[in-house]
Amino acid sequence: MLLLLGEVSLSGVNTTHLWLETPRWSSQFYNEAEADLFVDRFRIGARFLLDAENLRDTVTRTQITQRYLTYDNGGISLWLGNYYETLGHGLVLSSFEDKPLRIDRNLDGGRLSWENDFLGIGLLAGRMLTEDKVTRDDWLYAVDATILPIENLELGAIYLRRDATQDADTLFGRAFEEWAEENLTLRLWRFDLTAAAAQRFTWGRRSADGWVGTNNIKGLGLTASLSYSQKGIGILLEAKDYRGLAGGINAPPPCNLDQESINQGADEQGYHLALNLAPWDWLWVDASYSSAWDSTRESTLDRIGVEPRIDLAGHTFIPFFTLIEREIPGALNTENDRLEAGLSYETLIRDFSLHLKGSYRHVKEVTEAWDEPRVLVELGWRSFIVSGGGVAELKEEMKLWPWGAIRYNAYPFDLTLSYGRFKGSYICKHGVCAYELPFEGIKADVTLYF
């Protein structure tokens, strides 16, 4: 439903997740509703959360988690309340939300920006939600500027100050952090070049009692990418060098397709090379290699992948191969090495779609290794999709993870019902990673748009 009264409109979304976990059929419930009221150039909105599940985390909440008021006239934009903002390349500040990762880094404060064809200036202040999803970090303040002196060149600069104490009666004369980022984007002929540098100065040292001392802990980050493209070929080279940039408020971009970081910018170097080929209309080939390490070489992460795509008379075949060699002591992911090869097939016949995917994965940890055959079948008809699949862990005692699901997706509803044993997986975004935990039982996911 959309209510329109001249320059007034109302829209929103409600998302519900229900779990029935076997063998005791214990229930878990999660519901989030978000609504926005638009009045001319103004927007007012809020989120309400009822979190009564402890499968993914131990936090339970029933509260209004976000509220905001915005104004935008095309050149000037003002946002008060909760918001998300990533400045530049994310080396200094990356405030984002990712529901599968259960990460919410929203800021509570305000931001003001102005821009024209040649210049953009932004100001912001706020306190970031911490990992416990209850408390907020210290105040931070930032200013960023973007200049477009010529058509194919963009220059940017960012300054951020972060308080290091909860005291509200004084602004100076206490421990704090300073961050800065300089970046550029240059487009010349068939080449695109982007580069960014970041500096971090921590005045003081965090202890159990707060920030003490006057030690200047310096951090430095460099990232750059160069790409070339023409008909039938594309080449991308990325490089990074981060030292002392793990600040909890930023997300230095990792150089790999899985977006996995060794230590979120504390001490990380590496590169990524990608090649895209399309010699004929029916053939595409994507290949990539990435490598990352720390200064001691005790932590390393290497990834190589090849994925051709073959289109023949409405039938698409995608063979793929991935090899990951990981050595990260104390990491959340216990897997050291992973080798996977498989084939995906897709076709569309009138109102029917078919997707088949099979793969064989070899996984190695410190103390054991095993194989994992995987299969996925998806059959679609108009707004319906029926899917099923599973994973088999071939260890001394074999484990099976079969599942099935049906989905109906037609505005204003998106409904998915699934049943089985779900193995879970390790997922990453912007260098921040988490586990999707295993689950056995029935899941219902309902999204309603209005």
Q: What is the pLDDT of residues 339-381, one digit of tens each?
A: 999 999 999 999 999 999 999 999 998 889 999 999 999 999 9
CB-facing half-sphere around the CA of 140: CA atoms within 13 A:
28
- CB distance 275 to 257 below 8 Å: no
Burial label, 152 (beta-carbon count in 10 A; 0-12, 13-18, 19+): exposed
Domain presence at residue 120: yes
Amino acid at 23: P
Residue 176 is predicted with a pLDDT of 77
Which carries the bigger pLDDT value, residue 407 or residue 332? Answer: 407
pLDDT over 50 (residue 303): yes
Q: How confident is the model at residue 165 (pLDDT cuts 50, 70, 90)?
A: low
Domain presence at residue 138: yes
For residue 150 the two structure tokens come to 């010529």
Tell me the pLDDT tens digit for each residue of 62-76. Answer: 999 999 999 999 899
Residue 209 is predicted with a pLDDT of 59
Strand partners, 390: 375, 402
Domain presence at residue 43: no
CA angle (362 as vertex; 356, 364 as ends), nearest 5: 145
| Distance from the Cα of residue 141 to its chain's centroid | 24
Q: How confident is the model at residue 174 (pLDDT cuts 50, 70, 90)?
A: low
Asked if the bond preceding 254 is cis, omega within 30° of 0, the reply is: no
Domain presence at residue 238: no
Domain of residue 184, residue span: 73-220
pLDDT over 50 (residue 172): no
- Alpha-carbon distance of 70 to 56, in angstroms, equals 32
Tell me the pLDDT tens digit for each residue of 183-193. Answer: 999 999 999 99
b/e 91-102 (16+ beta carbons within 10 angstroms → b): bbbbbbeeeebe
Distance separating the N- and C-terminal Cα atoms of the chain = 4
Domain presence at residue 169: yes
Q: How confident is the model at residue 170 (pLDDT cuts 50, 70, 90)?
A: very low
pTM exceeding the 0.85 threshold for the entire prediction = yes
For residue 125 the two structure tokens come to 């202040």
- Alpha-carbon distance of 437 to 19, in angstroms, equals 13
Residue 25 is predicted with a pLDDT of 87
Domain presence at residue 163: yes
**C-alpha distances in Å from residue 45, one per residue of 32, 49, 119, 297:** 13, 14, 29, 48
- CB distance 96 to 104 below 8 Å: no
Q: How confident is the model at residue 24 (pLDDT cuts 50, 70, 90)?
A: confident
- CB distance 420 to 402 below 8 Å: yes
What total of structural domains would you count in the chain? 1
The closest alpha carbon to 16, from 448, 387, 449, belongs to: 448
Amino acid at 198: A
In the chain, % of residues over pLDDT 70:
93
Asked if the bond preceding 23 is cis, omega within 30° of 0, the reply is: yes
Domain presence at residue 130: yes
The closest alpha carbon to 429, from 156, 66, 16, 90, belongs to: 90
- Alpha-carbon distance of 412 to 447, in angstroms, equals 8
Domain presence at residue 242: no
For residue 417 the two structure tokens come to 């019902």
Q: Is the dihedral of CA 353, 359, 364, 368 positive or negative?
A: positive
pLDDT over 80 (residue 166): no
